[in-house]
Amino acid sequence: MSVNHLRDLLHALDGQSYKAYKSLRGSHSLADFTLHIDYVQGDPFAAPSRVRVEVPQAIAQFPSSLYDSSPRRIALEDYLIRQFDRQIQTVGRATGSGKSGLIEIVRPSQAILPRSAAHISEQMVELRLAVGLPAFGRRIAGRQAAILLCEQLPELIDQTLFYAQLDAAALQAHCDCAEAADYLRHQLRDRCLVAFIADGAVLPRQSGVDDRPLRQDAVPFQSPPSLQTSLRLPDGAMVTGLGIPQGVTLIVGGGYHGKSTLLRAIEAGVYNHIPGDGRERVVTDAAAMKVRAEDGRSVVGVNISPFINHLPQGRSTVQFSTQDASGSTSQAASIIEAVEAGAAVLLIDEDTSATNFMIRDRRMQELITKAQEPITPFVDKVRQLYTDHGVSTILVMGGSGDYFDVADTVIALDNYRPEEVTAQARAIARADQNNRQAEGGATFGDISLRVVAPDSIDARKGKRAVNLKTRTTDEIRLGLHEIDLSAVEQLVEPGQLKAIAAAMVYAQQYYFDGQRSLTAALDRVLGDIATHGLDCLSDRLSGEFVGFRALELAAALNRLRTLVIDGSPNDHAPTAEHRGEDEA
């Protein structure tokens, strides 16, 4: 079918009832591309229609050097989405009711992430979009539809999916930038580092709601000589910056001197960023997890006994559950859950921590004895977490010098400039003993794995088997249940929540079998995504999924108020006897 044919078809629909648009479903091969109309909206006000466009590489002609590695391919796809989104802004929107004339692609953040909205292979380049099929009232606006699908869309594709039309240098820089960040991140573990912040990086953002770089008056990052490290870039050049070593690191300094800004850049460093972001070469161990206090959250069956014990009324904390956690309990649970899900680094800011979880000073120890206080403060556990479980911590702590005793590295920020003050902090700790009793015991304690009860996840709503809703980076609606993710701070795009919601249903369907641990089940889910792509999460092809980590998927599950934990995997492991029978 030619463009003309589609135009005739749309003109013929003009004035008909909106339902007649359903006849468009299916694939239309137009001049340079194929238009797949996968879903046709029921009326002009409903969720928009979903379409895919595919251009054969024979026409698109992207050089394979732009997508011959995973970070480069993801960066190329990311670039195409951004390019398409930019071009949409230049197109006038057709008039009509409701969403008439809308053309929309998932909107990327500052991070370069895998997204189902774009897909490139040796054969094809594909974009997935939402379009609002035009109407006046409930009557099809056929001429407007023809302009949308036969003029505007081909024009947008022309400006986005044909290599020759793109800024080759910018595209190359985009792919190189992502690859370099990945390359730097991969060197961290060999160098016993948990994060690297390149000299010259711009960390502050425009505002709390605008993640673009602060342009005016931003002080570029400059590493202190004693912690300066050089890492290699893919082209062999070296880049210098601050290397934060494994172990326990404190970030100290006066209020407003840039501590939280540095930590937030480190949080974001689990992702690659676009050129011009300022954090292109700020990289963090991929398993670094921000944790914070979050009173009111639910906790299900978590062994928080390393931190909290001897609750009033003799309540056990080995499989602790609550629908309304306190600040300290929520922070304890979030730490244990993160480690259970594979976190190698914890990122904690005093601004968002529970004071009684972080510190308990000598005077308070005297007034309220250990026997009366269920909480063992983090200061007494943070070292054991590293020595016993290999989990490092980076902690912003301007308010308590008690942490000097347990820190390997102390970095002070002064007017946004970092200095290493480890020696001074140690000298102060020696000269001015705080005489605290360490309350942490001999070891950190076990991190217990949990098994999710197979029917924990119920995404049903009325007659609909699966009903998932997400609009922001704050909340997932799973059937009748809401999951509040506003405290899971490393989620940066709504599409990550959409994918996580689908992944929860997928995990339930395939991997929560009542025996496998939560962690093992989530690893399987992430493994499937790595092999088959985000599309494996859903029967219908979604253009809205964005990549996420097992850590955030675990965080979402852990906040599901209907979650049921069915003991630990050990309770379920076949006994030696059973195994013998199986083999026989």
Site of interaction with ligand ADP (CB under 6 A): 203-204, 214, 217-219, 253, 255-261, 416
Choose the contact partner of 255 out of ligand ADP, Mg ion, none; CB within 5 to 8 A by kind: ligand ADP
Nearer CB in complex with ligand ADP: 256/510: 256
| 473 is an interface residue for Mg ion by CB under 5 A | no
Number of residues that bind Mg ion (CB under 5 A): 3
- DSSP secondary structure letters along 3-69: HHHHHHHHHHHTTSBGGGGGGG-EEEE-SSSEEEEEE--SSTTSSPEEEEEEEEHHHH---GGGSSS
What is the spatial distance between Cα 341 and Cα 300, in angstroms, rounded to a whole number?
14
- CB under 5 A: which stretch of 150-158, 259-267, 425-433, 483-491 binds Mg ion? 259-267
From residue 222, how far is each of 11, 185, 196, 240 by CA, in Å?
Answer: 62, 19, 12, 9
Site string for Mg ion, 40-79 (x = CB under 5 A): ----------------------------------------
Containing 490, the helix (H) or strand (E) segment is: none
147 vs 203, beta carbon nearer ligand ADP: 203
Residues 563, 456 contacting (CB under 8 angstroms): yes
Smallest gap from residue 249 Cβ to ligand ADP (A): 15
Instruction: Report, in Å, the least distance between residue 338 CB and ligand ADP.
Output: 22
**Least Å distance between CB 230 and ligand ADP?**
22
Based on its alpha-carbon atoms, the radius of gyration of the chain, rounded to whole angstroms, reads 27
Distance CA 504, CA 458 (A): 10
Residue 213 or 253 having the CB closest to Mg ion = 253
Binding partner selected for residue 96 from ligand ADP, Mg ion, none, CB under the kind-specific 5 to 8 Å limit: none
By three-state DSSP, how is residue 146 classified? helix
Residue 203 near residue 280 (C-beta atoms within 8 A): no
Beta strands in 183-327 (DSSP E): 193-198, 205-207, 210-213, 228-232, 238-245, 248-253, 272-273, 282-284, 288-290, 299-302, 320-322
Amino acid symbol at 327: G
- Of 97, 272, 283, the C-alpha closest to 185 is 283
Q: Are 229 and 196 in contact (CB under 8 A)?
A: yes
User: Residues for the chain: how many in total?
Assistant: 584
- Minimum distance, C-beta of residue 216 to ligand ADP, in the bound complex (Å): 9
The entry of ligand ADP, Mg ion, none near residue 312 (CB within 5 to 8 angstroms by kind) is none
User: Is 400 near Mg ion (CB under 5 A)?
Assistant: no
> Shortest distance, CB of residue 358 to ligand ADP, whole angstroms?
15
| Bridge partners of residue 125, in order along the sequence | 55, 120
Q: How far is the CB of 292 from Mg ion (least distance, A)?
A: 12
Quote the least distance from Cβ 398 to ligand ADP, whole Å. Answer: 7
Instruction: Decide if residue 260 touches Mg ion (CB under 5 A).
Output: yes
Q: Which two tokens stand for residue 437?
A: 């009793």
Residues 300-339, mask of contacts with Mg ion (x by CB under 5 A): ----------------------------------------
3-state secondary structure of 186: helix
CA distance 288 to 155: 42
Pairing of strands 320-322, 299-302: antiparallel
**273 vs 275: CA distance, rounded Å:** 7
Residue whose CB is less far from Mg ion, 262 or 304: 262
Query: Residue 217: which of Mg ion, ligand ADP, none does it interact with, CB under 5 to 8 A by kind?
Result: ligand ADP
Interface with Mg ion includes 558 (CB under 5 A)? Answer: no
Binding partner at 257 among ligand ADP, Mg ion, none, C-beta below 5 to 8 Å by kind: ligand ADP
Q: In terms of CB distance, is 147 or 262 closer to Mg ion?
A: 262
- Identify what 177 binds: ligand ADP, Mg ion, none; CB under 5 to 8 Å per kind: none
**Closest by Cα among 216, 288, 290, 269 to 110:** 269
- Selection from ligand ADP, Mg ion, none that 447 binds (CB < 5 to 8 A by kind) is none
CB of 259 to Mg ion, least distance (A): 5
| Nearest in space to 124 (alpha carbons), one of 87, 161, 159 | 161
Contact call for residue 351 and Mg ion (CB under 5 A) = yes
Q: Which stretch binds Mg ion (CB under 5 A): 114-122, 137-145, 222-230, 260-268?
A: 260-268
Q: Which does 583 bind (CB under 5 to 8 A by kind): ligand ADP, Mg ion, none?
A: none
- CB closer to Mg ion, 167 vs 351: 351
CB of 495 to ligand ADP, least distance (A): 27
Determine the Cα–Cα distance for residues 84 and 86; give it in Å rounded to an integer.
Answer: 5
> Residue 507 corresponds to which tokens in the numbers above?
């995990």
Whole-number minimum distance, CB 410 to ligand ADP, in Å? 15
Given a contact cutoff of 8 angstroms between Cβ atoms, the answer to whether 100 and 132 are in contact is: yes
Instruction: Give residues in contact with Mg ion (CB under 5 A).
Output: 259-260, 351
